[in-house]
Amino acid sequence: MTVRQLTIGCFALLAAVLPYLGLLPGWTPALATITAFAALSLIGLNLIFGVTGMLALGQAAFVALPGYLAGIMHVSGVPAIVAIPLGIASAVLIARLVAEIFIRLPGIYFAIGTLGLAFVVEGLARAFPSITGGASGLMLEPPVAMQADGWYILAVVSVALGTASFAWLVRGRFLRTLKLVRHDELAAQVLGINVARVKAQAFTIGSTYSAVGGILLAYYVRVLAPESGGVNASLEALAMVVIGGSGSVFGPLLGAAAIHWLFAVAGGAERFELLVYGLGFFLVVLYAPAGIVGALRLGWAIGEAQLGQRGAGTPAPAAAPPMTARDAAAVRAASAREGTCLELENVSKHFGGLRAVQDVSFTVRFGQIVALIGPNGAGKSTLFNVISGIEMPTQGRILLQGADIGELPIHRRAASIGRSFQVPRLVPDLTPIDNVVARLDHLPGDAREIDGQRVARAQLEAFGLSALADRPVNQIGLGYHKLIELVRASAGQPPLLLLDEPAVGLTADEVTQLADLLRLLKSQGAAILVVEHNVGFVETVADEIVVMDSGRLIAQGTPQAVMTNPEVRDAYLGALT
């Protein structure tokens, strides 16, 4: 246990007994109970919005719904002990449905959809007073009578469990996946992530926290008012998460505590409440996106520096464990690689009247580097997008190891295709290791954390990048991003590599290094298709060159043959000489 964990533990204990010490004016057991239940529900919003970056504007709907549903069921004769879990389950089911409807669309639909739901919940609660109690609220009777201290213990235990389960859940593979989805949905899909499914999962799990926290709070205060499920309550929830520190484990707890205590101390300032929430939210988003947790971290770092508690150094990497089943499978797959990998048959892609790719056919064999060249607008990038599944072909077939993949979604091609982008799309706040492991996470086979770390480290080392392996990507020079992305694309040895202008922006030395790396990957049996403008580089590494112009394939063959082809010189190289 580190000093830091010990400190957090001590503070947690102190916080738990604080209401009974009377050290903090206004911080009574009743307020602390409310705060803890509210924080439990905010953990869900923190997962959805803070970690995954989904703009859930109506989360209060899922806080109030389970209480309303349970209360209404109870009134109609269902015992509370059954109605409460049913209420939670129904609210989670509704969350799941909302996710299914809005999540495949751009994020703004999800934002507006969730906002709309908050309007609906509050509106319905007001519209049917005979069922919901209307504006004066729905009375709730707890199934078991509990004293105030009992409630407080329940609140502390449940928020502790909630926080611990969040910390346990949102780490490793799941955290990497969520960060990828948050940062770059396209890159996430290309790495094999079913983005819609991951977002639906995050929203459903998060809404479960919201529902549990919400129903506990409702039964504690024994009344549920329409506005607790409405837009203002949703905005206030967002504000508390943001102010506490969105995405961090203790953010919801700190945000809820700070705000609840502030308003309790200020007393009778209801008119100012919304403005305080709004300003707090606005200013934190603009100037201190890490919130209270960020400030505490900064304070801790300064304190640590002043105490000179540095120099323990990073722990040495664990010794390499013996070869695993996954390695063995990879070796088998690699040794089975011969013949044709990728085959394009008369592929066309039209955008309206624009024929971006017109009737293109060629093949890439295992252990072969094929370079795709052509002037700007020749259709190279479109063809790449068609192969990786970002665009659908208008006509033609795409065969990968003999199977037609033309109809498969992006993420289902990912296991067989490693792709790099013109502008690298790495997750900036993850290390190269984690970026590479995020790729391994979504390849078929046994995915154990330690294996992934080891394979990623070995691969980075093979590419001469081990010195950079443990720094966040946003602290590493842009020149290395291309190489790191190449490691990520080739990790797990996919049969086909699609590299989009890998040499652009590299120095002459780095280009030489890149050529060596491509030859290494080729010798491991990969089929490599490269789009590249650097003709010198292409001539040195490519076994075959395919030339496109205005969407058509105009020449293909060995570098010497293509470079001396008069049509190619006219269409493409003529512009350079």
Partner 1 sequence: MNLFTQSVISGLMTGALYTLLGIGLVLVYRTARILNLAHGESFAITGVVAALLVGYGVPLPVSIAVAMLVAVAFATSLHRFVLRPRSEWPAGTLILITLGAAFVARGVMILLVGTDPVSFPALFEAPPIRVAGGALPVQGLALVLVGFGVSVAVGLFLAATRSGKQLLATAENPYAAELLGVDVERARLIAYGIGGLLSALAGVLLIPLIAVDFQSGLAMTLRGFIAAAIAGMSPVGVLASGLGLGLFEAMVGAYLGALFQDPVMFFVLILVALWQSRKIRFGGGRRA
Report the interface residues with partner 1, using CB under 8 A: 53, 55, 57, 101-109, 111-113, 115-117, 119-120, 123-124, 126-127, 185-186, 188-189, 194-197, 199, 231-232, 235, 238-239, 271-272, 274-279, 281-282, 285-286, 289, 385, 389-392, 409-412
CA 213 to the chain's CA centroid: 24
* Least Å from the CB of residue 115 to partner 1: 6
End-to-end CA, the chain: 66
Cα(103)–Cα(209) distance, integer angstroms: 19
* Least Å from the CB of residue 386 to partner 1: 12
Cα(291)–Cα(306) distance, integer angstroms: 23
User: Which helix (DSSP H) or strand (DSSP E) does residue 512 occupy?
Assistant: helix 508-523
Query: Which tokens belong to 242?
Result: 């943001």
Sign of CA dihedral 535, 537, 540, 546: negative
DSSP code, position 402: T
Q: Which is nearer to partner 1, 365 or 412 (CB)?
A: 412
Q: Which is nearer to partner 1, 34 or 61 (CB)?
A: 61
| N residues, the chain | 577
* Least Å from the CB of residue 258 to partner 1: 17
Among all chains, which residue has been given the structure tokens 């009375």?
A: 139
Half-sphere exposure of 80 (CA within 13 A, CB side): 14
Q: Which is nearer to partner 1, 251 or 389 (CB)?
A: 389
Q: Which residues pair with 499 in a beta bridge?
A: 420, 530
* Least Å from the CB of residue 321 to partner 1: 34
* Least Å from the CB of residue 18 to partner 1: 29
* Least Å from the CB of residue 428 to partner 1: 11
Amino acid identity of 339? G
* Least Å from the CB of residue 294 to partner 1: 15
Burial of 191 (0-12, 13-18, 19+ CB in 10 A): buried
Q: Which is nearer to partner 1, 106 or 566 (CB)?
A: 106
Q: Which is nearer to partner 1, 18 or 120 (CB)?
A: 120
Cα(400)–Cα(342) distance, integer angstroms: 5
* Least Å from the CB of residue 247 to partner 1: 12
Q: For 237, list phi and psi in degrees, rounded to 5.
A: -60, -45
* Least Å from the CB of residue 359 to partner 1: 23
Q: Which is nearer to partner 1, 55 or 563 (CB)?
A: 55
The candidate with the shortest Cα–Cα distance to 53, out of 184, 167, 150, 217, is 184
Cα(292)–Cα(281) distance, integer angstroms: 12
Among all chains, which residue has been given the structure tokens 């209401």?
A: 19
Q: Which is nearer to partner 1, 201 or 368 (CB)?
A: 201
Across 374-385, b (16+ Cβ under 10 Å) vs e yields bbeebbbbbbbb
Torsion of CA 126, 132, 138, 144, to 10 degrees: -150
Q: Which is nearer to partner 1, 11 or 282 (CB)?
A: 282
C-beta separation of 195 from 410 below 8 A = no
Q: Which is nearer to partner 1, 237 or 538 (CB)?
A: 237
Q: Which is nearer to partner 1, 54 or 170 (CB)?
A: 54
* Least Å from the CB of residue 383 to partner 1: 15
The candidate with the shortest Cα–Cα distance to 386, out of 424, 364, 417, is 417
* Least Å from the CB of residue 529 to partner 1: 20
Contacts of 87 (CB under 8 A, 6+ apart): 65, 66, 67, 68, 69, 70, 71, 73, 211, 215
Q: Which is nearer to partner 1, 275 or 320 (CB)?
A: 275
